[in-house]
């Protein structure tokens, strides 16, 4: 690495150097640099040996021809490596991978307020027993029953049965 600097002194009366004087100093610096670079016997960069296909595949993992073109344009791979990668990609095309599908949801073991709201609506029909509802949806209060009903996981009849259940339980525990 060669580094040259030049100092352009200010005039004796304190004026700064003019643009022409700075340009002349720069030209002289460039000529000195050219002379130095021409005189040195710097060895060139060692010739890089072409890498094997397996090493190229591990290093770059090419999936598209455009990426191989960019590697060649940036000088990351030699012409021989480019041809090797291109031939490999043409003989082994990479199929686009579909986005991963969502895994099946486990049963809801969360508190009622954290459960999903987009569950399918509960069809009307025979109302399930209150004990089954409280155990299935972890309902401990009338407010939680309202949350389950708002998600349409229980029918109106089941909600009313839960309401009667909690009201009667409250009457039994309240002192009179």
Domain limits, the chain: 53-91, 112-173
Q: Which of 110, 138, 115 is nearest to 162 (CA)?
A: 138
Question: pLDDT (tens digit, 9 = 90+) per residue, 86-102?
Answer: 999 888 876 655 666 66
C-alpha neighbours within 13 Å on the C-beta side of residue 46: 3
Q: What pTM was estimated for this model as a whole? A: 0.32
Q: Does 53 have pLDDT greater than 80? A: yes
In the chain, pLDDT over 70 holds for what percent of residues? 73
Mean pLDDT of the chain: 79
Question: pLDDT (tens digit, 9 = 90+) per residue, 24-49?
Answer: 888 888 888 777 776 555 555 566 78
The CA distance from 128 to 13, in Å, is 104
Enclosing H/E stretch for 112: none
Q: Which of 92, 90, 116, 113 is nearest to 102 (CA)?
A: 116
pLDDT of residue 172: 83
Phi, psi of 21 (to 5 degrees): -65, -40
């Amino acid at each position: 690495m060669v580094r040259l600097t030049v100092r352009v002194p200010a005039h004796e009366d304190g004026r700064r150097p003019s643009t022409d004087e700075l340009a002349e100093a720069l030209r002289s610096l460039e000529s000195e640099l050219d002379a130095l670079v021409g005189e040195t016997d710097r060895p060139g960069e060692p010739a890089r040996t072409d890498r094997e296909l397996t090493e190229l595949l591990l290093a770059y993992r090419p999936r598209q021809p455009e990426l191989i073109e960019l590697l060649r344009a940036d000088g990351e791979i030699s012409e021989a490596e480019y041809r090797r990668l291109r031939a490999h990609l043409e003989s082994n095309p990479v199929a686009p991978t579909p986005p991963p599908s969502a895994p099946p949801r486990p049963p809801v073991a969360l508190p009622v307020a954290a459960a999903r709201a987009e569950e399918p609506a509960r069809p009307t029909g025979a109302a399930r027993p209150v004990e089954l509802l409280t155990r299935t949806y972890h309902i401990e209060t009338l407010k939680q029953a309202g949350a389950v009903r708002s998600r349409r996981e229980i029918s109106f009849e089941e909600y009313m049965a839960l309401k009667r259940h909690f009201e009667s339980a409250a009457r039994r525990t309240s002192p009179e």
